[in-house]
Amino acid sequence: MTDTVLFQAFVYLTAAVLFVPVAKRAGLGAVLGYLIAGVIIGPWALGLVGQEGHSVMHFAEFGVVMMLFLVGLELRPALLWQMRRPILGLGGAQVVVCAALITGAALALGVAWKPAIAVGLIFSMSSTAIVLSTLAERGLLKTQGGQASFSVLLFQDIAVIPILAVFPLLAMAAPELVSTSSGDGEAAWVTGLKLLGAVGGVVIAGRFVVRPVFQFLAAVKLRESFTAAALLLVVGIALLMQQVGLSPALGTFVAGVVLADSEYRHELEADIEPFKGLLLGLFFISIGATIDLDLIVAEPLQIAGIVLGSMAIKLLALRALGRVFGLDRPSRWTLAFALAQVGEFAFVLLSFGVQSRIFSHEFAGPLVASVAISMVLSPLLFIALERWVLPRVAERAVERAQDEIAHADTPVVFAGYGRFGQMVGRMLRANRIPVTILDLDPEMVDVLGRLGVKAYYGDASRVDLLHAAGCAHAKLFVLAVDDKAEATKIAHAVRTHFPHLTILARCRDRPHYFELRALGIRHVYRETFGSAYETGIEALRQLGYRANTAHRLARKWRDHEERELEQLAGVWNTDRSAYFAGVRRAMDEAERLMREEDPVVYTERDAAWDNESLRADTRVDAAAAPVPPAEPS
């Protein structure tokens, strides 16, 4: 029974359903959950799946192919072109440097030079599957570090092709014994031509064949045939690439980029996404299941040495390269921690190395185990990165030297010039009011500089900096930083050292409002109030209220809201129980007010332009009675 496909599917799906949510809840991430699930159902624990794990892995590798197709879909050609420097420069440097260092280490351990080079090349590769999944899961994919990691992975995908071509040359035995589809024995230019031809074919087909086909299918409106076509596209390209000996992942990536501009992008994404997710999960499980625990138990020190040694070398090399290529500190660490593991390409390359007789099966065994372990470790590295490394380097980043302020002498000083501050600042500058800007975000300061706005990098809670910014002579201090604690700190400093300055403060929420009011700041503005207010007015208008009425109702509500907030501010700091009583009263009051502002009731209460009483008057005696002269409609 254990051999049936259904039973296998049952085991894999159960493992995924049981372990992944648990791992995710525990903060370990889905990838690690899959890997652990694999180990548990594998031959060395429960033994629910046996040696066929390898073939499952081979099948599941298709998830990686699909993932790169999806990554390609997200990446328009123009965007890819923008990334050419990190891809070729950083990616190329990574492969060369890591391969050289690991080769050197292998040589130092007494490995012959040919297998040493092979191992160096193999171990320079990282895991596209694990890194991209984890980066996406942790929301790091769009960061500078994430983008750099992606660039390197893309280069590695390309680099597999020449590596496969080089391997036969490293063989200890005669290369003609080896027969694979990788183009060995061919001249380099033939391989190059094939590569260009295949990629060119995918680009042209993507432009001129795939679009009309999808157009037709979309017109027919058969959902499943569209899905089938999307899968066919990915499978077909993968097959074509395998035929010419290229990486299927690279081929589908190119196809994805070609289709990134097409109108079917989102549909393709939606169709492929679930397949990718399941297959990737299967892939991770099968990696977990193929870990040879016997070997690890037999040779713990050797394998630990290989894993830690190779990962340490890669980590340090990547960090240094990140610095050379101008990444900021957090990005350097992200890149280094993300790509330190050895990737799934290593499984393919190691077995190819054995086939090519570069090294023996016995030599490859511990290496395969080390690769698997390094892949299991990499989600843990991500956790370490997020918990301990990034918070520290992020704080360090603040230590950029504070800018020298020449001699600021403007009537207005800004602390924080992001989304909020900029709007206020632009309004002032439009009226030719000069402002001095302090911001704690070095990127923002640089961007402003490029826009021709002079901003100074620095911590606005420091009194010397406030002096330099001209606070002694300024009239107004606009406090618009978005960090609550930072804002309060700055407000305190300004109130203490420059009591004459009027502060206009942005606040995040009610507690922050009270905090700033307690510091004696009279003008505190809730940052989302303005836009919510406008939205409320427009909502009333859309519901059929006249513009003028909607505005009057909104103003009335706002006045009430502000009065309540002021009253609560009075008790916030002194008497917490009075505060909560106040909030309860305010809520009741607001509810009552809302009921009264029901249009029917409201019209009877609001005395503006009211003529009901007049109407009553005129009914009594039209001509003779001296009617109050507010005249009616």
Residues that bind other proteins (CB under 8 A): 545-551, 603, 608-609, 611, 614-615, 618-619, 622-627, 629-633
Q: Least distance (Å) from other proteins to the CB of residue 562? A: 18
Q: In the complex with other proteins, which residue's Cβ is closer, 504 or 627?
A: 627
Q: Least distance (Å) from other proteins to the CB of residue 547? A: 4
Contact assessment for residue 418 and residue 460, using Cβ atoms and an 8 Å cutoff: no
Q: In the complex with other proteins, which residue's Cβ is closer, 139 or 629?
A: 629
Q: In the complex with other proteins, which residue's Cβ is closer, 4 or 633?
A: 633
Q: Least distance (Å) from other proteins to the CB of residue 629? A: 6
Q: In the complex with other proteins, which residue's Cβ is closer, 451 or 624?
A: 624
Q: Least distance (Å) from other proteins to the CB of residue 553? A: 11
Q: Least distance (Å) from other proteins to the CB of residue 611? A: 6
Nearest-angstrom CA–CA distance, 44 and 393: 40
Q: Least distance (Å) from other proteins to the CB of residue 600? A: 11
Task: Check residue 526 and report its DSSP letter.
Answer: E
Contact assessment for residue 321 and residue 350, using Cβ atoms and an 8 Å cutoff: no
Q: In the complex with other proteins, which residue's Cβ is closer, 269 or 617?
A: 617
Nearest-angstrom CA–CA distance, 630 and 633: 10
Please write down the long-range contacts of 259-268, taking CB distance under 8 Å and 24 or more positions apart: 259/72, 259/73, 259/206, 259/210, 260/72, 260/73, 260/74, 260/75, 260/76, 260/77, 261/76, 261/77, 262/210, 262/211, 262/214, 264/211, 264/214, 264/218, 265/73, 267/218, 267/226, 267/230, 268/73, 268/230
Q: Least distance (Å) from other proteins to the CB of residue 540? A: 11
The residue to which tokens 């624990």 are assigned: 45
3-class SS of residue 415: strand
The phi, psi pair for 439, rounded to 5°, reads -145, 150
The phi, psi pair for 543, rounded to 5°, reads -85, 5
Spell out the residues 6+ positions from residue 554 whose beta carbon is closer than 8 angstroms to its own: 533, 536, 537, 540
Q: In the complex with other proteins, which residue's Cβ is closer, 5 or 430?
A: 430
Angle of the 92-108 helix axis to the 113-124 helix axis, nearest 10: 140
Q: Least distance (Å) from other proteins to the CB of residue 427? A: 15
Q: In the complex with other proteins, which residue's Cβ is closer, 348 or 627?
A: 627
Q: In the complex with other proteins, which residue's Cβ is closer, 180 or 611?
A: 611
Q: In the complex with other proteins, which residue's Cβ is closer, 360 or 613?
A: 613
Q: Least distance (Å) from other proteins to the CB of residue 530? A: 14
Reading the block at residue 108, the tokens are 């130092």
- Give the DSSP per-residue string, 58-87: HHHTHHHHHHHHHHHHTS-HHHHHHTHIII
Nearest-angstrom CA–CA distance, 579 and 340: 53
Q: Least distance (Å) from other proteins to the CB of residue 534? A: 11
Nearest-angstrom CA–CA distance, 49 and 290: 10
The residue to which tokens 């109702």 are assigned: 553
Q: In the complex with other proteins, which residue's Cβ is closer, 179 or 613?
A: 613
